[in-house]
Amino acid sequence: MKMALILLVALCSSFEIFATQSYLSVFTSTYPSVRGSQLESCATCHSPVKADFLNAYGLDLRDKGKNLNFKAIEALDSDEDGKSNIQEIKAEMYPGSQAATAEYLIFTNKKGAVHFNHEMHVTGPAAGDCSKCHGVDMFPKYFNDSIPVRDKAHTICWRCHSESGNPNAPLQCDWCHQ
């Protein structure tokens, strides 16, 4: 019984990895012109989050474009910015975000401003798991530059950068503080 359960869990998680990777690859094969643009990214459907770790375009795809039927949601304007999804995709603009570029939070402080790409972190290293940074004794879910978060930042940000072993994750002071 226990074995069967473990097997089921293993099957489900490999299916999930397959499923999420295929969203991006089916998107780029449906719209080859987005290859190499900012739209070839998890953020296209996942940021900024509106519900269930999906943005407005991701939600429309899930609910109105079932089985990856991208055509069914082309005429919609998911992010309500006055341009249809297909117009935005052709223009290499995010169909699920009114922002033209990825979402940044900039901490200004005496040591030097820290540019934090929230969107990249949510969809990349944290893979949608908000609890990597938010929760009790973690970062609040609001941005207020007048409330310092130095101690939390130097623990939470630095620890993950160190543990990730990723050479693009800054560990030196003047790489984060510019």
102, 47 Cβ separation under 8 angstroms: yes
Give the whole-angstrom CA distance, residue 91 versus residue 34: 9
Residue 24 lies near ligand HEC (rule: CB under 6 A): yes
Pick 1 or 18: Cβ nearer ligand HEC: 18
139 binds ligand HEC (CB under 6 A): yes
Name, in order, each residue with C-beta under 8 angstroms of 148's C-beta and a sequence gap of 6 or more: 109
What minimum distance in Å lies between the beta carbon of 74 and ligand HEC?
13
Task: State the nearest-atom distance from the C-beta of 16 to ligand HEC, in Å.
Answer: 4
- Mark 99-118 with x for binding to ligand HEC (rule: CB under 6 A) and - for no binding: ------x-x-xxx--xxxxx
Dihedral of alpha carbons 174, 137, 130, 88, sign:
negative
87 lies in the site for ligand HEC, by CB under 6 A: no
Please tell me the distance from the alpha carbon of residue 87 to that of residue 27, in angstroms, as a whole number.
15
Considering the complex, state which of residue 1 and residue 146 has its C-beta at the smaller distance from ligand HEC: 146
Joined together, the tokens standing for residue 71 give 């055509």
Q: Which parts of 54-83 interact with ligand HEC (CB under 6 A)?
A: 54, 58, 61-62
Residue with tokens 């069914």: 72
Cα–Cα distance measured from residue 5 to residue 119, given in angstroms and rounded to the nearest whole number: 35
Q: How far apart, in whole angstroms, are the C-alpha atoms of residue 53 and residue 46? A: 6
Q: Give the residues lining the site for ligand HEC (CB under 6 A).
A: 16, 19-21, 23-24, 27, 42, 44-46, 49, 53-54, 58, 61-62, 105, 107, 109-111, 114-118, 120-128, 130, 132-134, 139-145, 148-150, 153-154, 156-158, 160-161, 164, 166, 168-171, 173, 176-177
